[in-house]
Amino acid sequence: MVVRMSSLFLRTLREDPADADVPSHRLLVRAGCVRRVAPGIYSWLPLGKTVLDNVARVVREEMAAIGAQEVLFPALLPRDFYEASGRWTEYGEGIFRLKDRKGADYLLGPTHEEMFTTLVKSEYSSYKDLPVSLYQIQTKYRDEARPRAGILRGREFVMKDSYSFDLDEDGLKRSYEAHRGAYERIFARLGLDYRTVFAVSGAMGGSGSEEFLAKAPTGEDTFVSCTSCDYAANTEAVDTAAAPATDVEHPPIEVLDTPDTPTIDSLVELLRSKGHDVTAADTLKNVVLKLHTPGKDDEILVVGVPGDREVDMKRLEANVYPAEIAGVLDDFTAYPDLVRGYIGPQGLPDTIRYVVDPSVADGSAWVTGANVEGRHAVNVVCGRDFVPSGRLPAAEVRAGDLCPRCHSPLSIDRGIEIGHIFQLGQKFANAFELDVLGPDGKPVRVTMGSYGIGVSRAVAAIVEQHHDDSGIVWPKSVAPFLVHLVPVGKDAEPLEVATRIAESLAAAGVSVLLDDREVSAGVKFADADLLGAPTIVTCGKALKDGQVEVKDRLTGERTLVAVDEAVSVLGTR
RNA sequence: CGGGAUGUAGCGCAGCUUGGUUAGCGCGCCACGUUCGGGACGUGGAGGCCGGGAGUUCGAAUCUCCCCAUCCCGACCA
């Protein structure tokens, strides 16, 4: 079918919308693909809907290829399923809740582990039924505290979520690998430049988890990748190897008067002025954090990191799960042993939990607080003068830090999370007592995996990676149209020729957009570039030689093609 | 929830400091004419509870107070 622009429901914008600052948001709005309805909530117009459907089609094909079967759950869900898993409470303000006319509680589904688990429990009961993988492509709802960046982080979004059900750990690993393979093929077909990185499982629980991050400066996730081997990880999940212990003999602790040095910088400056050759990296910074564990009393945690680094709260939090970091302690009155600004791990009472970053090696000597106002201690040796109760990755990760695998430097990039796969294990199977009967007649607890792709987010990620100053440059796999025909000139001939080519291409199964509007050539060219069809065909001046101009949107390269050959040439592009 | 900014036509903005006829410009939209290969031009139109409320004033888009909303940064977030 030929789509004619004169009747296509489309209004392009010449100017950038005021509320958009990331490229995908700007261009999807300007190209008439989406319109904002409320914060984080968007309507999809014909062009955008076509792209969204194309992405979903690729996802469906690859899911089918690994044998996953599609279902569709409601988005509107009753409370009891989420009560059973504990997530009605766990999610807090993150979900949309509502009541029906009888006052019964409902929610708009943020993710559907509960529903899938229950469905399989109600239908299957034998080991012979497994393994099975089910998925849906569905609208999800999360009441984000701050939706941002247009389609990239909305409160309503389209997600493909699938779940695997296996009898044991080995089966789970096979399902997980199958999904990882499918995801790699999907993102490659979508034209996305992405990395697969180790991630933290966080609230989802489970053992293994990887994220698929589309590289983009506008991405919200920061990840490291090794410049030499294939190691890559979300910064929260970077595995810092414990620094090797040293057995250098250090002099005994010496306590120095260091008045008015509450910060690392002021301390280093004072010590250097007194002839001590130290830098911030030689100091041990001790930060007091409040830990909140749901259902338990809050506690404090003192963490020591090299003084030239900040504490990465997200990274540390990933390592204290299920506890959450409620912030930095600001009221020290309940902790007389902690001298604000002058805390040292040596001599801290056992009642205070003290951990260090793995970069603090046994046998290493540090400058740190003397637990007395206005005094610091030098030659404080880890393992000799204090013994941390544990090592938790807590220091910020920097470009140039060493790869935990091969010790080459790491680089840091930002990415958009387009997919996430989890070896979920039995968290939900336990919550719903999902068992099947084994060959011996005894019940076997099912093991699950959960796998997500942000379908609408992928559309935005594609635009982030495929655009230029003039507009979007759609990859062929998802382009709303493969060929955009632009007749120019006041005579009837250009439109006649363009229409003829358009109809022949459409008959050959090529999606075609025909700009039959009565507007100036400049408007047509600008819109063609903005809309981003991979091939733009101008029917104009060259018609006098029996030719049309074929432009590759990506490279800008233009070639002249005889009208008679246009259909066969374009059909094979 | 903290910090910053902004609410005037479908979209992008000016006007507000220093209150005063009928609130303006560009894009888009409608009509007619000219133009016709990189966002053409002329003429004439349609389109506004100036975010909401209360106040000050003879008079408020403009000043004061309160509220609401949106965007950005942070906290938060499979």
Q: DSSP code of A571?
A: H
- Nearest nucleotide to the CA of A520, by C1', is B36
CA of residue A14 to C1' of nucleotide B12, angstroms: 9
- Nearest nucleotide to the CA of A110, by C1', is B78
- Nearest nucleotide to the CA of A538, by C1', is B37
- Residue type (1 letter), A183: Y
CA of residue A89 to C1' of nucleotide B2, angstroms: 25
In sequence order, the 6+-apart residues with CB closer than 8 A to the CB of A413 are: A195, A215, A222, A223, A225
Q: DSSP of A165-188, one letter per residue?
A: EESSHHHHHHHHHHHHHHHHHHHH
- Nearest nucleotide to the CA of A486, by C1', is B37
Q: Tell me how far apart the alpha carbons of residues A525 and A527 are, in angstroms, rounded to a whole number.
A: 5
Give A308 or A140, the one with higher predicted confidence: A140
- Nearest nucleotide to the CA of A327, by C1', is B75
Residues of chain A above pLDDT 70, percent: 94
Burial environment of residue A503 by CB neighbours within 10 A (0 to 12, 13 to 18, 19 or more): middle
CA of residue A10 to C1' of nucleotide B42, angstroms: 28
Q: Name which of A198, A192, A188 is nearest A231 in CA terms.
A: A198
CA of residue A15 to C1' of nucleotide B24, angstroms: 20
* Nucleic acid strand B: bases within 7 A of protein CB: 1, 11-13, 26-28, 35-40, 69-78
Contact A62, A188 (CB under 8 A): no
**Would you place residue A304 in the very low, low, confident or very high pLDDT band (cuts 50, 70, 90)?**
confident
Q: What are the φ and ψ backbone dihedral angles of A239, each rounded to 5 degrees?
A: -95, 105
Measure CA to C1' and name the residue nearest B71: A19
pTM equals 0.86
Six-digit token string for A85: 């898993």
Q: What are the φ and ψ backbone dihedral angles of A395, each rounded to 5 degrees?
A: -80, 150
Q: Name which of A152, A309, A144 is nearest A217 in CA terms.
A: A152
Measure CA to C1' and name the residue nearest B13: A18
CA of residue A410 to C1' of nucleotide B59, angstroms: 68
Give A506 or A328, the one with higher predicted confidence: A506
Helix (H) / strand (E) element for A116: namely helix A113-123
Measure CA to C1' and name the residue nearest B39: A523
Residue range A34-59: average pLDDT? 93
Q: A467: helix, coil or strand?
A: strand
Contacts 24+ apart (CB under 8 A), A174-178: A174/A131, A175/A131, A175/A133, A175/A449, A176/A208, A176/A421, A176/A423, A176/A449, A178/A66, A178/A67, A178/A133
Q: What is the pLDDT of residue A296?
A: 67
- Nearest nucleotide to the CA of A36, by C1', is B70
Question: Rg (Cα) of chain A, in Å, rounded?
Answer: 30
Q: What is the pLDDT of residue A340?
A: 73
CA of residue A428 to C1' of nucleotide B3, angstroms: 40
CA of residue A342 to C1' of nucleotide B14, angstroms: 56
Contact A164, A448 (CB under 8 A): yes
CA of residue A38 to C1' of nucleotide B10, angstroms: 16
Q: What is the pLDDT of residue A295?
A: 64
First to last CA, chain A: 18
CA of residue A522 to C1' of nucleotide B39, angstroms: 5
Kindly report, residue by residue over A362-408, the tens digit of the pLDDT: 777 787 877 777 777 777 777 777 777 777 777 777 777 778 788 88
CA of residue A157 to C1' of nucleotide B66, angstroms: 36
Residue range A309-317: average pLDDT? 75
Residue range A181-194: average pLDDT? 96
Residue range A216-231: average pLDDT? 86
Q: Tell me how far apart the alpha carbons of residues A539 and A545 are, in angstroms, rounded to a whole number.
A: 11
Contact A166, A282 (CB under 8 A): no
Q: What is the pLDDT of residue A396?
A: 77
Four-residue CA torsion sign, A39, A43, A48, A52: positive
- Nearest nucleotide to the CA of A452, by C1', is B78
Q: What is the pLDDT of residue A366?
A: 80
Six-digit token string for A413: 């990039």
CA of residue A145 to C1' of nucleotide B76, angstroms: 6
Q: What is the pLDDT of residue A322?
A: 64
Give A289 or A144, the one with higher predicted confidence: A144
Kindly report, residue by residue over A353-363, the tens digit of the pLDDT: 777 787 777 77
State the virtual CA torsion across A304, A310, A315, A320 in degrees, nearest 10. 30
- ipTM summary value: 0.88
| Chain centroid, CA A406 distance in Å | 26
Q: Tell me how far apart the alpha carbons of residues A533 and A71 are, in angstroms, rounded to a whole number.
A: 32
Measure CA to C1' and name the residue nearest B12: A15
Kindly report, residue by residue over A435-467, the tens digit of the pLDDT: 999 999 999 999 999 999 999 999 999 999 999
Four-residue CA torsion sign, A291, A292, A293, A297: positive
CA of residue A491 to C1' of nucleotide B3, angstroms: 60
- Nearest nucleotide to the CA of A539, by C1', is B37
User: A147: cis peptide before it, omega within 30°?
Assistant: no
**Would you place residue A326 in the very low, low, confident or very high pLDDT band (cuts 50, 70, 90)?**
low
- Nearest nucleotide to the CA of A540, by C1', is B37
- Residue type (1 letter), A15: E
- Nearest nucleotide to the CA of A556, by C1', is B38
CB count in 10 Å sphere of residue A477: 16
Q: Tell me how far apart the alpha carbons of residues A171 and A48 are, in angstroms, rounded to a whole number.
A: 38
Q: Tell me how far apart the alpha carbons of residues A60 and A357 are, in angstroms, rounded to a whole number.
A: 44
CA of residue A149 to C1' of nucleotide B2, angstroms: 21
Mean pLDDT, rounded, of chain A: 86
